[in-house]
A and B are shown apart, each in its own frame.
Chain A
Amino acid sequence: MTKKNPQGEVWIFAEQQDGKLNDVALELCGKARALADVLGVKVGAVLPGYQVAGLAPTLFAHGVDRVYLVDDPNLRYFTSSPYAFVMETLIDKYAPQIVLYGATPLGRDFGPRVASAIRAGLTADCVELEIGDVVDAKTKEEYKNLLYQIRPAFGGNIVATIVNPERWPQMATVREGVFPKQEPDATRGGEIVEEKIALDPSLLCVEVLERMVQERTVDLKGARIVVSGGAGVGSKENFQLIRDLADALGGAVGASRAAVNCGYIGAEHMVGQTGVTVRPALYIAIGISGAIQHIAGMQDSAKIIAINSDPKAPIFSIARYGIVGDLNQIVPWLIKAVRERPTE
């Protein structure tokens, strides 16, 4: 188990695929910078891959002080065991106090494996991270400068603050879009620490034979208008109404977790704590009751319109405009009104 190290750095996992850093890694840089400034320590980024040294300046520009570069042909394509081993080895060597991962398919695959190996905690899908003190209710022992890992708890509109008082590093995953990407500062420099880590053949027991990466077809984060449907939409076929309204508005199609779980639409459309966080100019929630897990991902929208048949649905309490009624009537009216809208 890793020793608690209050001078330890704040780390992020610098996820890249095919030599390109993903957005969430850069979003995490900004948050890590802010946390490290509170603690008075440096920000480190762990960058495994092959021929990826060229990514270091981007990480520096986004707030990283030190890039731990592990360049190895065996790390060209992600597989869980060697990536986890690299992380475990570096955590063991440098004892960072905090490690943040993007809650991407890749981060969610190997992050837990790292946590298990070093027997540390890993709090999934945090919506906020802060530094704070904790007094143990029983022992009265005070813990200074812990990482508050804040996430909605299943069970409604309740937010839980998770801490790891004893077992460090404190690790968390964060979904894309939760933290805004900070403006890069190209004049910021940093240090590249090259690490050679021997990968035992037993770690390389999964081979990637073929790989197909599709262009991302859903751009929720960049959309100015998002139209989302929930379980109230009722069927996969009826979800066409949501798409039609989004089309009419030139917006993106979103969905609540319930709608995804019901099979109405793919998970790439999910808005919320376990999906994408969006901040559009206009968000239209249709047949969505407003569980905190959804609200966490859209409450910062500039204007929210809620359409729901249940007047008591929590979504109305954050909506600028509310329409209580049958979405099967209201959405077609809305589509018509949008198509026929006056232009200024």
Chain B
Amino acid sequence: MASYNSIVLVKQVPDTSRISGDAMNSDGTIKRSALPAIFNPEDLCALEAALEVKDRFGGTVTVVSMGPPKAADVLRECLYRGADRAILVTDRAAAGSDTLATSYILSQAVKTVGNFDFVFCGRQAIDGDTAQTGPQCAEKLGIPQVAYLLEIIDVKDGKATLKRSIGDGWEIVRTTLPALVTVVRDANEPRPCSSIRVMRNKHKRVPAEVQDPAALAPEDRLEQWSLADIDADLDRCGFAGSPTKVHKVTSIVLKTEGHTSIEATEEGVRALVAELVKDRALA
């Protein structure tokens, strides 16, 4: 019976849904430290899709993330939820990568893992919302992509039948494998961590996370790859590999002509509505 191997691309992101008054400085900039680092939500759905393929058809689930050593947090979480193998690509030369350079690095990592039928990733990360890295990885791997997965209908004879969102509706498509699939939040409900898997994996660290990597016991070691380990061309990574440059950054001064504070009482609200009616702002 056929089984299907999946590679899942995941990212650790600042929790931008927590941007509230408390996380903002008075000039409107964000206090990054006030935002917790979390598992990018749609990447959790991508992991779930891969685990579903494993549950239904057999195979393995390998997770790859690129980021600083701290990003190993999300890899441990993948192991808690059911991934078989987790790899962190971390290298100073990767800093400053735009989506093109990032997708190059991730695609090299995927090629290094090898032997896969599916690459799953979240549609987009909540810190940039660009949704570019997935399709760009697919192009670099020379495989088809199916964006915005809603449901895995069937996988057989080397083809996958998938339901995907098209914004104002949905489509059912059939793709040859291997293929890259980006996953949206509505696709599934990610399974929780299993307590046995937490016990088994919570001590695991990538070497860059610990003071003395040599003292890390082999069973506690998470795989850590450098750009050399994935045979990446440094000219295509980091700043050098990024065609987009930041020319300038400007702060926005928010202001309006005339501001009226309305008293937070029923009378205050009533007076406001009366004024809006008078101004014909309300029909």
Tell yes or no: B19 within 8 A of A by CB: yes
- Using known A-B contacts A112-B132, A261-B41, A334-B269, determine if residue A319 contacts B16 with beta carbons closer than 8 Å: no
Within 8 A of B (CB), among A99-156: 104-106, 108-113, 115-117, 119-125, 134, 146, 148-149, 153-156
Assess whether A320 is in contact with B282, with CB atoms less than 8 Å apart. Answer: no
Assess whether B126 is in contact with A261, with CB atoms less than 8 Å apart. Answer: yes
Stretch of B80-88, B203-211, B245-253 that contacts chain A: B245-253
Output the nearest chain A residue to B20 by Cβ-Cβ distance.
A289
Tell yes or no: A196 within 8 A of B by CB: no
Q: How many Å lie between the Cα of A80 and that of B181 in the bound state?
A: 12
Assess whether A295 is in contact with B262, with CB atoms less than 8 Å apart. Answer: no
Contacts of B161 in A (CB 8 A): 209
- Using known A-B contacts A81-B144, A282-B282, determine if residue A113 contacts B139 with beta carbons closer than 8 Å: yes
Tell yes or no: B135 within 8 A of A by CB: yes
Contacting residue for B129 out of A125, A319, A341, CB 8 A: A125
Tell yes or no: B113 within 8 A of A by CB: no
Q: How many Å lie between the Cα of A49 and that of B268 in the bound state?
A: 56
Q: How many Å lie between the Cα of A219 and that of B254 in the bound state?
A: 27
Within 8 A of A (CB), among B231-251: 242-251
Q: How many Å lie between the Cα of A337 and that of B127 in the bound state?
A: 39
Within 8 A of A (CB), among B99-132: 99-100, 103, 126-132
Output the nearest chain B residue to A80 by Cβ-Cβ distance.
B145
Assess whether A134 is in contact with B247, with CB atoms less than 8 Å apart. Answer: yes
Within 8 A of B (CB), among A292-316: 292, 295, 302-305, 308, 310, 312-314, 316
Assess whether B131 is in contact with A161, with CB atoms less than 8 Å apart. Answer: no
Contacts of B265 in A (CB 8 A): 333
Output the nearest chain A residue to B281 by Cβ-Cβ distance.
A282
Chain B residues bordering chain A, tally (CB within 8 A): 92
Q: How many Å lie between the Cα of A314 and that of B129 in the bound state?
A: 22
Give the Cβ gap from A265 to chain B, nearest Cβ, in Å: 12
Within 8 A of B (CB), among A73-117: 77, 79-81, 84, 104-106, 108-113, 115-117
Tell yes or no: A330 within 8 A of B by CB: yes
Contacts of A6 in B (CB 8 A): none
- Using known A-B contacts A124-B131, A155-B30, A333-B270, determine if residue A105 contacts B259 with beta carbons closer than 8 Å: no
Assess whether B21 is in contact with A317, with CB atoms less than 8 Å apart. Answer: no
Give the Cβ gap from A60 to chain B, nearest Cβ, in Å: 27
Q: How many Å lie between the Cα of A81 and that of B274 in the bound state?
A: 56
Q: How many Å lie between the Cα of A134 and that of B247 in the bound state?
A: 7
Assess whether A330 is in contact with B41, with CB atoms less than 8 Å apart. Answer: no
Assess whether B246 is in contact with A121, with CB atoms less than 8 Å apart. Answer: no
Contacts of A19 in B (CB 8 A): none
Assess whether B264 is in contact with A330, with CB atoms less than 8 Å apart. Answer: yes
Q: How many Å lie between the Cα of A336 and that of B102 in the bound state?
A: 52
Assess whether B251 is in contact with A157, with CB atoms less than 8 Å apart. Answer: yes
Q: Is the interface of B mostly helix, strand, loop or mixed?
A: mixed
The total of interchain contacts (Cβ-Cβ below 8 angstroms) comes to 293
Tell yes or no: B36 within 8 A of A by CB: no
Assess whether A323 is in contact with B269, with CB atoms less than 8 Å apart. Answer: yes
Assess whether A213 is in contact with B136, with CB atoms less than 8 Å apart. Answer: no
Give the Cβ gap from B58 to chain A, nearest Cβ, in Å: 23
Contacts of B274 in A (CB 8 A): 341-342
Assess whether B136 is in contact with A158, with CB atoms less than 8 Å apart. Answer: no
Q: How many Å lie between the Cα of A316 and that of B135 in the bound state?
A: 39
Assess whether A213 is in contact with B166, with CB atoms less than 8 Å apart. Answer: yes
Tell yes or no: B140 within 8 A of A by CB: yes
Assess whether A320 is in contact with B260, with CB atoms less than 8 Å apart. Answer: yes
Contacting residue for B249 out of A158, A208, A213, A305, CB 8 A: A158
Q: How many Å lie between the Cα of A189 and that of B179 in the bound state?
A: 43
Contacts of A80 in B (CB 8 A): 135, 138, 144-147
Tell yes or no: B33 within 8 A of A by CB: no
Assess whether A321 is in contact with B272, with CB atoms less than 8 Å apart. Answer: yes
Tell yes or no: B95 within 8 A of A by CB: no
- Using known A-B contacts A224-B283, A318-B255, determine if residue A113 contacts B26 with beta carbons closer than 8 Å: no
- Using known A-B contacts A121-B98, A155-B30, determine if residue A232 contacts B136 with beta carbons closer than 8 Å: no
Tell yes or no: B195 within 8 A of A by CB: no
Tell yes or no: A53 within 8 A of B by CB: no
Tell yes or no: B93 within 8 A of A by CB: no
Tell yes or no: B192 within 8 A of A by CB: no
Q: How many Å lie between the Cα of A344 and that of B18 in the bound state?
A: 43
Assess whether A213 is in contact with B168, with CB atoms less than 8 Å apart. Answer: yes
Stretch of B48-56, B65-73, B170-178, B213-221 that contacts chain A: B170-178
Closest 3 CB pairs of A and B: A325-B264, A157-B28, A121-B243
Q: CB within 8 Å of A: which residues of B?
A: 14, 16-22, 24-30, 32, 41, 98-100, 103, 126-136, 138-140, 144-148, 161, 165-176, 179, 185, 242-252, 254-256, 258-266, 268-270, 272-274, 276-283
**What are 26 A-B pairs at a CB distance below 8 A?**
A80-B135, A112-B130, A113-B138, A113-B139, A115-B100, A121-B242, A154-B127, A160-B248, A163-B244, A163-B245, A206-B175, A207-B175, A208-B172, A209-B172, A211-B166, A211-B171, A212-B169, A249-B282, A261-B126, A282-B281, A289-B20, A303-B276, A310-B20, A322-B261, A323-B264, A337-B266
Q: CB within 8 Å of B: which residues of A?
A: 77, 79-81, 84, 104-106, 108-113, 115-117, 119-125, 134, 146, 148-149, 153-167, 205-216, 224-225, 231-232, 249-250, 257-258, 261-263, 268, 274, 281-282, 289-292, 295, 302-305, 308, 310, 312-314, 316-326, 329-330, 333-334, 336-338, 341-344
